[in-house]
Amino acid sequence: MKKKLTAVLLVVALALSLGLVPVAPAAASQVTDTYTSDVGDSVRMLEVSVPASGPTNFTALEAAGGWTSWHSAVATDHGSWADISGAGWIQSNATTSYPGGDWWYEFRKTISIPSEAANISGSIEINADNANEVHLNGDTYCVPNPLNDTQDGEVYGTWADNYEWGYINTWDVSSSLQTGTNDLLIVIRNYPVGSFNPHGVTYKLTVSYEIPDIEKTMASDGYLGDIITVTLEVENPYTSATVKDVIPDGLRYILDTFMVDSGSGPVAVTPTIADNTISTTVGQGDFTITFDVQVVEVQCEEVTVTNTAELWYDGDPVASDSKDITLWPYEGFVKTFTIVHEDNLNGAIEVNELVMWDMNITVPNNVGWNIVDAVLKDNLGGELGMAGDGVNNDRANGTDEDNGTTAWGDVEMEYNTLHGCPITIKTPGKSNKVHFWIEDIDIDDGDPALVFVLGIFTDYNPGKGKIPGIHSYSSPGTDYYLNSGATLKFTDTSEGGTGFLLSAHTCPVLIDVVPPITP
C-alpha cells in the first residue's frame, strides 16, 4: 500500500550564481510516500527440512534448498501482536508454522522513487512473529536494537522466544534509499513453539524527498507589438540547477527585464542568451523569475506557439512546464485584387489571356504609437508584370513597341497610388519576376489606414520557344500564386519602447486558370 502527501514549503531563501548572494536554502516541494505491508507483497517460505539450528547468516539462508515459489501474501492478525498504525499484518498462504522445526519467510516489495528526487530520507517500523531482519537495496537492519534492548531477535542460529512480536523496531534507512527502483526484502523467523504457531509481519516504510518543479504563467493571446510578462515559479531542491526558457518564433526577449524574487523582492539578474533560449543558474530554494517578451512577428492567420520552461540538473531536464500563446494577425493589414481589364470579359482567368488587376494593400496603425519609416514588401508570381517595372512586355510581336495603354499591359509608374512614398521595383533574372518594396511609410497613431494601389498584369512569357505576344499562363491549373503575400516592417518607436523590428504578413493570393473560352 502506498500513500502520498505533497506539501509546498515556505520560501525562505535563494542562491543564484549570477549576481545574487546565496543565503540559507529553502526546501522545494516535499513529498512523503508511505509503503505498508499488504497482500500485494510477495512471499516465499523455507520448508521444515532445514535443521532446527537453522542457517547462521543471510547468505546461508539464501543458499538453502527447499524454498517454495513466490506467491502473494494473505492478510492475518493476532490479538497479542503489537500493531503499527496504518499497516496490516500479512503472512504466507500457510495458516500456521509447524512446531516440528523452524520456518523462515521472505516478504518482498519493490518501490520506486522519481529520478529527479533529492534529499531522500526514510525510516521503517517493523514487527514480526518472531524475529525479523530488513534488507533494503543490499543493506541490512536487524536487532539487537538499542531502542528495544529486551529483544535478542535471533533470525539465525539458536533462539529464545522473548516475545519479539510484542515490540516494534524502527530503523533509519535514509542511507539505503535511492532514486529509481528500491528492493525491500524482509526476513522473518518463526520459532517452533506450541501446537498452534501463527506467523506474520507488519511494517511501514516512510520515504520523504524533495521534487523540483517549475510552473509557467503568461498571456494566452498576443498581438503585434504587445509586451508580455512571463512568470516562472521554481522549486529547486538541488545545490545548483539551471533554468531555461525557449522563446518561440514570433516572440523576442526584452533585455534587462529578467528579475528573480526569493521572497524579499525582485533582483535584476543577467541571463545567458543563446539563440532563442535564455537561461540562468540558480541555487537551492523556491523563487519567482519574471521577464518580458514582445510579439515581433505575426502571420496572416492566427498561429499558436508553445513557450517551454525547464529546470536542468546534472545535464538533464528534471522539471518543465509549457504554455501556448496564440499570435493573431495584424488587424486590417489586408490585400485584395480587382480585375480592371481582361481580353475576354467573363471574369475568368484564361490561358494566354491579358488580364490586369488593381492590387490594393491596406496598411493600418494598430500599435498605439506613430509608425515611422515602415517598409512594405511583396513579390509577384513569375507570370506577372507591374506598373512601372520598366520591362518591355511586347504583346503583338517580338519587336513592336507597346503603346503604354492598359489594354497592352505595359503601365507607367504613375498608375500606382503610393501616398508620396518611394517604391523600388526589381526584375532580376531572365524571368523578370517582380520584387518591390515601398519605403518611408508614416502613419500617426489615430490616423486612417493607407491604401496602396498597384497595377499588375499577366506578363509576356519570355520562355524559350514561346510564341511572341503570348501571355504567361500557358496551361490551366488551380492555386496559381498571384503573389507571395505582403510583408510590413516597422520599428517599435513608442516611448520607452524596445526598438525591435516588427513584422506582419498577409496571406498569398491564389487564382485558378482555365482553358481559353470562346467569346
d(CA 203, CA 127): 6
Among 277, 300, 327, the domain-final residue is 327
| CATH number of domain containing 122 | 2.60.120
Q: Cell 512546464 belongs to which residue?
A: 321
Q: What single letter denotes the amino acid at residue 364?
A: P
| CATH number of domain containing 503 | 2.60.40
Domain count, the chain: 3
> Is 414 strand, coil or helix?
helix
pLDDT at 467: 53
Contact (CB, 8 A) for 460 and 448: no
| CATH number of domain containing 299 | 2.60.40.740
Those residues whose C-beta lies under 8 Å from the C-beta of residue 392, and which sit 6 or more positions away, are 401, 402, 410
Phi-psi region of 5 (alpha: psi -120 to 50; beta: other; left: phi over 0): beta
Return the H-helix or E-strand segment holding 61.
helix 58-63
Among 327, 342, 369, the domain-final residue is 327
Other C-beta atoms lying within 10 Å of the C-beta of residue 114: 15
Identify whether residues 290 and 404 lie together within a single domain. Answer: no
d(CA 218, CA 373): 32
Those residues whose C-beta lies under 8 Å from the C-beta of residue 110, and which sit 6 or more positions away, are 181, 182, 183, 184
Identify whether residues 91 and 225 lie together within a single domain. Answer: no
Q: Cell 496598411 belongs to which residue?
A: 363
Other C-beta atoms lying within 10 Å of the C-beta of residue 210: 22
d(CA 492, CA 501): 6
Identify whether residues 487 and 347 lie together within a single domain. Answer: yes
Q: Is residue 21 part of a domain?
A: no
Among 281, 306, 327, the domain-final residue is 327
d(CA 501, CA 297): 9
Query: What share of residues in the chain are helix, strand, coil (percent, to 5)?
Result: 5, 50, 50
Identify whether residues 176 and 229 lie together within a single domain. Answer: no
Those residues whose C-beta lies under 8 Å from the C-beta of residue 239, and which sit 6 or more positions away, are 283, 284
Q: How would you class 200 by CB atoms within 10 Å of its CB: exposed for 0-12, middle for 13-18, buried for 19 or more?
A: buried
Identify whether residues 219 and 318 lie together within a single domain. Answer: yes
pLDDT at 404: 42
Q: Is residue 389 part of a domain?
A: yes
Identify whether residues 381 and 506 lie together within a single domain. Answer: yes
pLDDT at 461: 58
Other C-beta atoms lying within 10 Å of the C-beta of residue 177: 20
Identify whether residues 349 and 464 lie together within a single domain. Answer: yes
Reply yes or no: is the peptide bond before residue 130 cis, omega within 30 of 0: yes
Those residues whose C-beta lies under 8 Å from the C-beta of residue 310, and which sit 6 or more positions away, are 214, 243, 244, 245, 246, 317, 319, 320
d(CA 421, CA 418): 5
Q: How would you class 479 by CB atoms within 10 Å of its CB: exposed for 0-12, middle for 13-18, buried for 19 or more?
A: exposed
pLDDT at 430: 67
Q: How would you class 351 by CB atoms within 10 Å of its CB: exposed for 0-12, middle for 13-18, buried for 19 or more?
A: middle
Identify whether residues 370 and 437 lie together within a single domain. Answer: yes
Over its C-alpha atoms, the chain yields an Rg (Å, rounded) of 40
Q: What single letter denotes the amino acid at residue 5?
A: L
Q: Is residue 43 part of a domain?
A: yes
d(CA 416, CA 197): 106
Identify whether residues 249 and 222 lie together within a single domain. Answer: yes
Q: Which of 46, 35, 43, 135 is nearest to 88 (CA)?
A: 35
Read off the pLDDT of residues 86-95 as tens digits, 9 standing for 90 and up.
999 999 987 6
Q: Is residue 12 part of a domain?
A: no
Question: Among positive and negative, which fits the CA dihedral 46, 49, 52, 55?
Answer: negative
Strand pairing category for 221-222 and 355-363? unpaired
pLDDT at 517: 85
- Please give the residue range of the domain that contains residue 373: 334-514
Phi-psi region of 99 (alpha: psi -120 to 50; beta: other; left: phi over 0): alpha
Kindly give the parts of the chain with pLDDT less than 50: 1-27, 145-150, 395-408, 469
Read off the pLDDT of residues 111-127 as tens digits, 9 standing for 90 and up.
999 999 999 999 999 99
pLDDT at 392: 65
pLDDT at 49: 52
d(CA 156, CA 408): 109
Contact (CB, 8 A) for 168 and 125: yes
Contact (CB, 8 A) for 353 and 324: no
Contact (CB, 8 A) for 301 and 485: no
Identify whether residues 305 and 181 lie together within a single domain. Answer: no
pTM (two decimals): 0.78
Identify whether residues 261 and 293 lie together within a single domain. Answer: yes
pLDDT at 51: 53
Q: Which of 517, 399, 516, 404 is nearest to 455 (CA)?
A: 404
Contact (CB, 8 A) for 160 and 193: no
Identify whether residues 432 and 472 lie together within a single domain. Answer: yes
